[in-house]
Chain A
Amino acid sequence: MKKTIPTDSSIHTGEVLFNKEVAPGICRMRIFHDEIARTSLPGQFINIRVSNNMEPFWRRPFSIHATHADEHWFDILYRVIGIGTQKLAFVKSGEIINFVGPLGNHFIADPAITKTSLLVGGGLGIAPMVILAHYLIQRNIHPIVFYGVRSQSELCSLPDLQALTSDIYIATEDGSVGQTGYITESVDAFLRQQTQYNELNIYACGPNPMLDRLGQIAELYHVPCQVSLETLMGCGIGACLGCGMKTRNSEKPYVYVCKEGPVFQAGEIDFSE
Chain B
Amino acid sequence: MNKLAVTIGNLTLKNPILTASGTFGYGNEYAPYFDVSALGGLISKTITLNPRAGNAFPRIAETPSGMLNSIGLANVGIDAFISEKMPYLRSLDTVNIVNVAGFTIDEYTEVVQRLEDVDGIDGYEVNISCPNVKEGGVAFGSNPNITAKITANLRTITTRCLIMKLTPNVTRISDIARAAADAGADSVSLINTLVGMAIDVRTRRPKLATITGGLSGPAIKPVAIARVYEVAQAISLPIIGIGGIMNADDVLEFMMAGATAVQVGTANFIDPDVCMTIINDLHSYCEREAIQSVGAVIGSMIM
A-B pairs with beta carbons under 8 A, tally: 89
Q: Which of B148-156, B169-177, B232-240, B266-274 contacts A (4 or more CB under 8 A)?
A: B266-274
Are A239's CB and B25's CB within 8 A? yes
- Do A232 and B58 contact each other (CB < 8 Å), given the known contacts A239-B24, A239-B30? yes
Q: Are the CB atoms of A59 and B24 closer together than 8 Å? A: no
Closest B residue by C-beta to A256: B74
Contact with B60, one of A8, A59, A240 (Cβ below 8 angstroms): A240
Residue in A49, A57, A239, A241 whose beta carbon sits within 8 Å of that of B63 in the complex: A57
Interface pair B29/A238, CB less than 8 Å apart: yes
CB distance from B205 to the nearest CB of A (A): 13
Tell yes or no: A235 within 8 A of B by CB. Answer: yes
Assess whether A55 is interfacial by the CB under 8 Å rule. yes
**B 53-78 binary contact with A (CB < 8 Å = 1; else 0):** 11001111111111101010010000
Evaluate contact between B270 and A241: CB separation under 8 angstroms: no
B33 at the interface (CB under 8 A from A): yes
Q: B102: CB under 8 A from chain A?
A: no
Contact B67 A58 (CB under 8 A): yes
The answer to whether residues A234 and B69 also contact, given A54-B218, A59-B270, A241-B54 and a CB cut-off of 8 A, is yes
**Chain B CB within 10 Å, residue with most, of A244, A245, A253, A254:** A244
User: How far is B59's CA from A243's CA once the two chains are assembled, in angstroms?
Assistant: 8
Does B258 interact with chain A (Cβ within 8 Å)?
Answer: no
A237 in the interface (beta carbon within 8 A): yes
Q: Is A38's beta carbon under 8 Å from chain B? A: no
- The answer, yes or no, to whether A20 is at the interface (CB within 8 Å) is no
A175 at the interface (CB under 8 A from B): no
Cβ–Cβ < 8 Å partners of A259 in chain B: 29
The count of residues in chain A whose C-beta lies closer than 8 Å to any C-beta of chain B is: 31
Residue among B53, B218, B272 making CB contact with A253, cutoff 8 Å: B53
Least CB distance from A50 to B in Å reads 11
User: Which residues of chain B are near A273, meaning CB under 8 Å?
Assistant: 57
Q: Does A242 sit at the interface, judged by CB under 8 A?
A: yes
Least CB separation from A82: chain B residue = B62
Alpha-carbon distance A56/B67, docked complex (angstroms) = 11
If the complex has contacts A100-B272, A232-B60, A254-B54, are A241 and B71 also in contact, measured as CB distance less than 8 A?
yes
Chain B residues 196-240 with CB under 8 Å of chain A are 217-218
Decide: A240 and B69 in contact? CB cutoff 8 A.
yes
Whether a CB of chain B sits under 8 angstroms from the CB of A246 is yes
B84 → A minimal CB distance (Å): 14
Identify which of residues 213-260 in chain A touch chain B, using a CB-to-CB cut-off of 8 Å.
Answer: 231-232, 234-246, 253-254, 259
* Complex Cα gap A246–B218 (Å): 31
Interface set of B (CB-CB < 8 Å, partner A): 22-25, 29-30, 32-33, 53-54, 57-67, 69, 71, 74, 217-218, 268-273
11 sampled A-B residue pairs with Cβ under 8 A: A11-B272, A49-B271, A54-B64, A55-B65, A57-B270, A235-B272, A237-B29, A238-B25, A238-B29, A242-B60, A254-B54
